[in-house]
Structure 1
Amino acid sequence: MTAVTLPREPGPPPPPERCSGPRTALLFRDAPLLLDCGQAASDVRVTYHTYGTPSEHAVLVLHALTGTSAVHEWWPDFLGEGRPLDPTREYIVCANVLGGCAGTSGPADLPQVNGGDAPLTLRDMARVGRALLEHLGVRRVSVIGASMGGMLAYAWLLECPDLVDRAVIIGAPARHSPWAIGLNTAARNAIRAAPGGEGLKVARQIAMLSYRSPESFARTQAGWGRCRPGTPDITTYLEYQGEKLAARFCERTYLALTAAMDRFQPTDAELRGIGVPVLAVGISSDVLYPPAEVRAGVGLLPRGHYRELESVHGHDAFLIDPGGLPGWVTDFLRAGRPA
């Protein structure tokens, strides 16, 4: 397989964390990517950021459902000197997932199946990520992912066991429960019922309710009329979140990625075959992925470890209320690595 790096328009100066990106690699030029659905895709674009000095070992960051490869924008508390993702110590890579809408090939760029978008899998995304690492000269990785990125970390552990030496999985189960699938089904049905952006706004509102907790909203959105006279603050908050996502995201991507998460259902036997150390962190108030689910998934792994983040802010606590999480991640990622 050969790959090329495509030029991109100049952007703002890189942040102080030794950022290189966004860059776009063109992969699968000589031999196509065989998707799990049976279709073949060639000339797959992958847009990515790197931080630090290129090395044969990297820390691979896997982003959440509506995230991007720009880790410095959405996880600044974790990226930087002395932090869990330290570019002065490690080469850090984050790529936009296959099927996304931030530069990597999306549904419109991939083969159609029965007149519709190809059904993607998390394992498809891992195979594309592997090709990018080969392009960058990376031979081994430590993986860290939260939410969808955590589920994708499980896919990496299953699809690329020869590459991964350890993994951190934050706020993510090993497979979706009927509850999580139901929430995604409602969101996708909203998009299909009102295409053109309005349904995506409603899908985001459904998702936001699962990303926080009742106590979190009681603390932050209990008022009336702060943003619009006579309107509950939670209403204006959800409407704002819907508008914001619709302005930057693609509804076809939302359909493709949530369906890929629902489709990911590894067996207990597959999970028991994962041999590397894995740290999974549950969040005490997470209603999307309750901590018992996170604990149960990592409990099947021979070298799995579980910790629980205490927070009232639900699933999004890994972003807004990380508590002791940075220290846990730092200690785990650096175990066995030279100082």
Structure 2
Amino acid sequence: MVTLFHTSPLLLDCGRPLSDVRVAYHSYGEAREEATLVLHALTGDSAVHEWWPDFLGEGRPLDPTRDYIVCANVLGGCAGTDGPAALGDIPISLRDMARVGRALLEHLGVRRVQIIGASMGGLLAYAWLLECPDLVMRAAVIGAPVRHSPWAVGLNSAARAAIRAAPGGEGLKVARQIAMLSYRSPQSLAATQTVQRRPGVHAVTSYLEYQGEKLLARFCERSYVTLTGAMDGFQPNDAELASIRTPVLAIGISSDVLYPAAEVRAGAAALPNATYWELDSIHGHDAFLMDAGELPGRVGAFLRGAAAES
């Protein structure tokens, strides 16, 4: 945990200045001036060793014996970095999060980074590319578009409406159920939700209820509203995207219904220096966590500077 912006405040996109911002983070490997920055998903956190074992470890894309790896909890979340409990319910943007991340890297003595981000972390990677182009050497973006579509905004709007309709926890559970349906695919649910856990209750119903309870135990509904609002508000125009000269590996997932592969591919085509690759999996958006397949190898080769195959 560090406290940043002591002497000069952070000016948020909404116009509010913030001082003494607390930032929680994990680092792996020996500190150096070049680092690999991991950007976590919506309800994730900075403990990469807990949620991405396919990627972190010796011989993997995030190798602490070779690289200095940093992952910070995002501004507005509820995993240690200042969020609504400390800041109030003020709007936070993805660009605000990138500015906080840059200040953290400066504090750590990091001058250049390569980025890997998935889901919300992928959207945030694009914010980094726009906000800190001088800092980023390359970026691997997994399962994320260049901007939120009406479909993605609609799903988040429904989730926030559930929270407003039933504050105190019940709404957050429903919001998670809505999200989980977009994180998996019809094929994935058909393959995995076949055994009834309670008599007379569909397996998928029990699964969604369990996911809602699990999120309620570890997450904050105010952060959920703040972070989904930041994602929806990230709407770079085509001219901004065309200004991104940094090499990007954009990865779609064949069965992703939240961010369809065609949308990720089209976003990559709008970038001057992007390569697209597609992970083939039946498990939808969450395949980057549960069915990685060739993904670690592809990302590892890209981060090492090797030419990714199209």
Global fold match (TM > 0.5): yes
SS state at 1:53 partner:
coil
Q: Once the 2 structures are TM-superposed, how far is the Cα of residue 109 of structure 1 from its aligned partner? A: 1.7
Q: Which residue of 2 aligns with 1:308?
A: 278
- Counterpart Cα distance in 2 of 1:293 and 1:63: 21
Partner residue in 2 for 1:35: 12
Partner of 2:293: 323
Q: Give the residue type in structure 1 aligned to 2:221.
A: E
TM-score normalised by length of structure 1: 0.89
Determine the C-alpha separation between the residues in 2 that align with 1:97 and 1:298: 25
Distance 1:108 1:86 in 2: 34
**How far apart, CA to CA, are the structure 1 residues paired with 2:9 and 2:165?**
35
The separation in 1 between residues aligned to 2:86 and 2:305, in whole angstroms, is 40
Of 45, 61, 65, 1:68 maps to 45
Q: What is the correspondence of 1:228-307 to structure 2 with a 5 Å cutoff?
A: 228-307=198-277
Structure 1: unaligned runs, 5 residues or longer: 1-23
Shift of 1:301: 1.0
- The residue number in structure 1 matching 2:140 is 168
Q: Does structure 1 residue 199 correspond to structure 2 residue 171?
A: yes
Q: CA separation in 1, counterparts of 2:18 and 2:29?
A: 31
Q: Which amino acid aligns with 1:118?
A: I
Aligned amino acid, residue 101 of structure 1: C
Q: Distance in 1 between the 2:295 and 2:12 partners?
A: 35
Structure-2 separation of matches of 1:228 and 1:330: 42
- Partner SS, residue 166 of structure 1: strand
Question: Which residue identity does 2:205 align to in structure 1?
Answer: T
SS in 1 for 2:61: coil
* Backbone CA RMSD of aligned residues: 1.0
What is the distance in 1 between the residues matched to 2:33 and 2:207?
44
Q: Which residue in the other structure is 1:53 paired with?
A: 30
2:73: which partner in 1? 96
- Paired with 2:305 and 2:277, the residues of 1 have a C-alpha distance of 16
Distance in 2 between the 1:276 and 1:126 partners?
Answer: 16
Correspondence 1:127 to 2:99 = yes
Match for 1:168: what amino acid?
Answer: A
What TM-score do the two structures reach when normalised by structure 2? 0.98
Aligned to 1:216: 188
Q: What is the distance in 2 between the residues matched to 1:291 and 1:230? A: 36
CA shift digits 1:19-69 (9 cap, x unpaired) = xxxxx0100011111000000111100000000000100000000000000
| 2-structure distance, mates of 1:144, 1:85 | 9
User: What is the CA–CA distance in structure 1 between the aligned matches of 2:90 and 2:266, rounded to whole Å?
Assistant: 31
Give the % identical residues: 75
Aligned twin of 2:153: 181
Counterpart of 1:232, as a letter, is: H
Supply the AA of the counterpart residue of 1:61. V
- Please give the secondary structure, in 1, of the residue aligned with 2:24: strand
Q: Tell me, in whole angstroms, the C-alpha distance in 1 between the residues paired with 2:243 and 2:268.
A: 12
What displacement does 1:300 show? 1.1
Q: Which has the higher contact order (CA 8 A, sep 6+)?
A: 2
Q: CA deviation at 1:264?
A: 0.2
Structure 2 residue runs of 5 or longer lacking an equivalent are none
Letter in 2 for 1:197: G
Question: 1:108: Cα distance to partner?
Answer: 2.6
